[in-house]
Amino acid sequence: MASGRCLASCGAGEGGVGVRGSGAGRTGFRVALGRLRGAQKSAKGVSLYSRYVNRPVGRVLAAGASWVGMTPNQVTVVSAVLSYGAVAAVALGRPSYPLAVGVWGGLALGFAFDAADGQLARLRGGGSAAGEWLDHVVDCAKIVAVHSAVLITFYRHFELPGDGWLLVPLGFQFAAVLIFFGGLLTDKLTPKGAGSGGQPASGKVTLRAVALLPVDHGVFCAVFLLLGDERAFRWAYTALFAAHVLFLAAFLSTWFRRLSAVRPLP
């Protein structure tokens, strides 16, 4: 759950005017989808998965939600139900490949709805402070809960080589929460337009998008497909933990330098 607010979510919220068409449902859906294609956020700081998989899927979900009359906050709740249901399955279920597929499906679809709420808010004319707050609270709770669920699985079901392995989910949780909170706080404290530096070259954008894959929530969701194999899951999860620690150090340094360059208010 990575940079660009853990590469996890767009700010969502209530507000604006709906675009639900008065004609056939199919036409209304297409109108909403067309408007969403023209109202996408910048790809800067977004990994390949979020850019080419999660955002496009979220766009379709947002168009469908607009057509049936859902609000951004309702979409956020759907995301929460899917994600928290998958997290509960990790904590309560016995690891197996059928469980692994179900957990991945719940987390990945929840992530897609997480991208849809912000897109729906922009489609309706903009979000609200309450909607953005709800979105971030849901995301933060998801980060804390999913690593807590992995810790429970490690303790209840895995034959670990040593008790030290129980520290891995705790360390992962620590790094993920710091990345999420640090990114949010940096965005809030950075004045609009500051540090933009113009558009980077497309090659650099693509390289960054590839580099950010290890800390993209979509990639993290995919690791749960290995939940049926204790050894494979444990090592894949640990590898992503190591990547988060490295990226955390890089992000903290970058964010501190960026904010140090901000002129103090008069």
Domain boundaries, the chain: 25-191+200-260
What local confidence, expressed as pLDDT, does residue 93 receive? 97
> Could you tell me how many helices (H) and strands (E) the chain has, helices first?
10, 0
Evaluate the CA torsion angle 134, 139, 144, 147 in order and state its sign.
positive
What is the pLDDT, as a whole number, of residue 199?
55
The answer to whether the beta carbons of residues 52 and 42 sit under 8 Å apart is no
114 vs 1: CA distance, rounded Å: 12
pLDDT at 27: 38
Cβ contact 16:118 at 8 Å: no
Q: C-alpha 37: how far from its chain's center?
A: 20
What averages of pLDDT result for each successive group of 10 residues across the chain (266 residues)? 41 37 47 73 76 92 91 96 98 97 98 94 84 96 98 97 97 98 94 62 73 94 98 98 97 96 75
Distance between first and last Cα of the chain:
36
| Encoded tokens for 122 | 């922009």
Superfamily name and number for 25-191+200-260: CDP-alcohol phosphotransferase transmembrane (TM) domain (1.20.120.1760)
CB atoms closer than 10 angstroms to residue 232: 13
Q: What pTM did the predictor assign? A: 0.84
Geometric angle at alpha carbon 214, from 212 and 217, rounded to 5°: 90
**What pLDDT is attached to residue 195?**
53
Task: Please state, in angstroms and rounded to a whole number, the distance separating the CA atoms of residues 66 and 29.
Answer: 8
User: Do residues 128 and 191 lie in contact, with contact meaning Cβ atoms separated by under 8 Å?
Assistant: no
- Rounded CA-CA distance 31/66 in Å is 10
| pLDDT value of position 19 | 40
Contact 174, 143 (CB under 8 A): no
Place of tokens 């954008």: 205
The phi-psi region of residue 237 (left if phi > 0; otherwise alpha if psi is between -120 and 50; otherwise beta) is alpha
